[in-house]
Amino acid sequence: MSKPILLFILLPACCFAGFSADLDGDKYVGLSDLVTMASYWLDNGNPGCQGDTGSDCNIDMEDFTALSQQWQWVECVAVSATASGQEEGPYAASNAVDGSMSTRWSSSFYDNQWIQIDYGVSRTSYGVTLYWENAYARVYNVVVSENGSDWTTIYSTSNSDGGTDDITWPLRSMRYLRINCITRALPYGSSLYEIVLKSDDVCHTPVINWQLVWSDEFDGPSINTANWNWEIGRGNPSGWGNEELEYYTDSTENSYIENGSLVIAALKNTQEPVYTSARMTTKNKHYFKYGRMEARLKLPALEVGIWPAFWMMPQDSVYGGWAASGEIDIMEAVKEPYTVYGTIHYGGVWDHNVNTGGSYSNGTNFSQDYHVYALEWEPTQMRWYVDDVLYLTQTSWYTEGYPYPAPFDQSFYFILNLAVGGRWPSYPSDSTNFPKFMYVDYIRVYQYPEL
């Protein structure tokens, strides 16, 4: 979900008994209400006496004064900010769009650094004001884009003196704005307190109009093989690269439909293979680039050695082997049922790979009921949610030898699995309870036309 646009209210409409200046019913007091009131100026035919604060059914200066006291001012602010890098410490890109002059973005201590702003939806802009810290960019340019890929240079300078740069340009539409800091004025990074867009737009909260493009509701009598494949065996290398213990099967003992949910069952057997489970994928059948990916899951009763996961891998590994082409972990849980994790893997092929992510815990035992685990994936930002609570946002990743936003600019497919053992979850003991069940009520994918 996009961050809400800041709303500044001089005096709320609720405070005027018997009168609200919201004449058009949009729950906003703004320009359209002023126009409506103006059309009723001294008009005895005013239907319902709209906008009249007195009892004469006339609109006069008294009524305009009351409207002005309820006026709501709206400022266009960013949905997200990303950067090529930052100085070590509390100098993130988001500081340059947080409305505070006490925080700032500071780049890494190099030339050719950038900061990019996403305003969530297309804005009609006519300029930007840059508030530089003492460490500023002497040579820089400003570029804008509607899609985050095709950029137009709209301003450039080779002799900035820092301070406040008040920049204007002919009226134009844009969603993304980037400041390319080419040459530093000082041996430190380029640093900005605030970036303020100039826009005449009425900047209501940008609402993403997600549209369902694919789902599996698991409401048939059996698993839909038009949607799912099964990966069989112990993996290559053995243990799926994680030193796991299970042998994955396509047996109906390990994966099946029950009461409108997919069930993945991890079993302990009296003979080899000791542990069996299921690992199901949509590879070559359903794969997606960008959107909201969500699943409603009930996790198994977690103990040491149990590892449920809802994740994504690249349909075509165009940037090379794992993890150069990326991996997206929407939900993982290990060892105990009160914490879930979201992670991305990137950087290069093993052992040049890196991962970044976060965890969510609110005291809930995630094995006792169903919960919705979601990823909202846009070209330069990923957001992780549990039951629509945002707990992790990532905007920085890379893959060696390719431009950002690689590797997460390709299509990925889904994987659902329930592993037994591994380096991260450790290994079950003789006292670990089996069987273990992961329940999947549905998986849904939403996208919107601008993506």
Same domain, 135 and 226: no
- For 95, the 3-state DSSP assignment is helix
Active-site residues, by number, are 327, 332
Split at pLDDT 50, 70, 90, the class of 34 is low
Return the pLDDT at 16.
31
Query: What is the band of 41 on the pLDDT scale with cuts at 50, 70, 90?
Result: low
Is 1 a member of any domain? no
Q: Which two tokens stand for residue 146?
A: 């509607």
Specify the higher pLDDT residue, 281 or 24: 281
What distance lies between CA 354 and its chain's CA centroid? Answer: 20
Report yes or no: 347 and 398 within 8 Å, Cβ to Cβ.
Answer: yes
Taking a C-beta distance cutoff of 8 angstroms, is the pair 182, 112 a contact?
A: yes
Query: 295-319 as b/e, with b when 16 or more CB fall inside 10 Å?
Result: bbbbbbebbebbbbbbbbbbbebbb
Report the relative pairing of strands 436-447 and 211-216 from DSSP bridges. Answer: antiparallel
Tell me the longest C-alpha to C-alpha distance in the chain: 92
Query: What mean pLDDT do residues 271-283 have?
Result: 97
The count of structural domains within the chain is 3
Q: How crowded is the C-beta side of 311, counted as CA atoms within 13 Å?
A: 22
Confidence of residue 13 (pLDDT cuts 50, 70, 90): very low
Which residue spans within 146-240 are E strands per DSSP? 152-157, 164-184, 191-199, 211-216, 229-230
CATH code for position 359: 2.60.120.200
Contact between 374 and 293 under an 8 Å Cβ cutoff? The reply is yes
Cβ atoms of 310 and 419 closer than 8 Å: no
Its pTM stands at 0.59
Do 115 and 223 share a structural domain? no
- State the residue range of the domain holding 283: 211-447
Q: Tell me phi and psi for residue 231, to 5 degrees.
A: -90, 130
Residue after which a domain boundary falls, among 144, 172, 199: 199
pLDDT above 90 (res 317): yes
CATH code where residue 162 lies: 2.60.120.260
- Is 240 found in the same domain as 190? no
Six-digit token string for 437: 């069940």
Same domain assignment for residues 156 and 237: no
Confidence check: pLDDT of 17 > 80: no
pLDDT at 29 over 80: no
| CATH code where residue 41 lies | 1.10.1330
Higher pLDDT, 21 or 305: 305
Mean pLDDT of 112-121: 89
Helix, coil or strand: residue 219: coil
